[in-house]
Amino acid sequence: MSEPRAKASPFLNTLDGFAQPTPPLWMMRQAGRYLPEYREVRAKAGDFLTLCYNPEMAAEVTLQPIRRFGFDAAIIFSDILVVPHALGVDVRFEAGEGPRLETITTRDRIDNLRQLLDPAKVQPVYEAITRVAGELPDETALIGFCGAPWTVATYMVAGRGTDDQGPARMMALKDPDLFDALMDRLVEASIRHLGAQIDAGADAVQIFDTWAGVLDPEMFERWCIRPLRQIVNGLRQTHRNARIIAFPRGATLEALEQIADLKLNGIGIDWTVDRKAAKARLGDKVAIQGNLDPLRLIAGGPQLEEQILNIRRDFEGIPHIMNLGHGIKPETPIAHVEKLVEKAREKL
């Protein structure tokens, strides 16, 4: 692989294929409700989308966990549903119930989506990235992101999250051409959104496929692998050196191998993946990110310390990024996050 780039960042060097003496560390949803300083800013914002679209506030909550814990990477505070919102879909967040969207299930409604992302929705995200990039320590990387087309489409079809994302699966089975049309729009929008985040100052981008695990192998190939390939190829046409991480939650090792063949820089794995098998089958292809169970972080105690060290030992000698197997939960004690930082960075 190429030599490490100018920015002296353990996180970026890991994505470039270089194993580090201690793994770089960040956490999905690290800017969030487990932090009292986040809750203060969230209360001032009034609602979630207002916080997402206020560059000053979004930058502040992005920086909060860096100031408190010194993570090796920040991830911009935003949401995967910014993309459908910027395509003209009505999106709102209701307290205690999560996102609600107008449903997109007909050819007319797909054809009427915006051709370009609404600047009023996406420019605040890019401005927040530029603000954060200007304030981060030189060694701390900044991650931009989007949702994978499959995961975003599941919310657009159902109008909300469901247990198994059945409405989108049924639409894809009954009318695959119609579903393809929706996915094509999301692929194009994702390429634009990720590229603009890199232009604004993001050092790497992550594609979250939270609902990848509900698909059978044939559907996984069509609705997860193919769109991801299109995004990677499209983004690298305009940003040749883009560092790209995929996080297909719930994917099997066989599926993860397929994703690794797309020439990504990193793959995030959840806590159900066998680490030694992942190292053997993926370790010479991509950096592996994860796979600490968020519930272990809540439980704390000796089991947490033991698991952190087990993860480090199992991935020793390959590019590995310490992270959770999904987002940190609001009830996580701050002291347990401090213990994670300590154990992730001590000498083995």
Catalytic residues: 29, 33, 42, 79, 155
Query: How distant, in Å, are the alpha carbons of 33, 146, 342 from that of 297?
Result: 15, 25, 13
Q: Is residue 60 within 8 Å of residue 128, measured between CB atoms?
A: no
The CA-CA-CA angle for residues 229, 231, 235, to 5°, reads 120
Distance CA 18, CA 66 (A): 23
Distance CA 126, CA 198 (A): 9
* The three-state (H, E, C) secondary structure of 299-328, written as one string: HCCHHHHHHHHHHHHHCCCCCEEECECCCC
Distance CA 154, CA 159 (A): 8
Q: Is residue 294 within 8 Å of residue 327, measured between CB atoms?
A: yes
Distance CA 12, CA 14 (A): 5
Q: Is residue 345 within 8 Å of residue 25, measured between CB atoms?
A: yes
Q: Could you tell me the sign of the dihedral formed by the alpha carbons of 183, 187, 188, 193, in that order?
A: positive
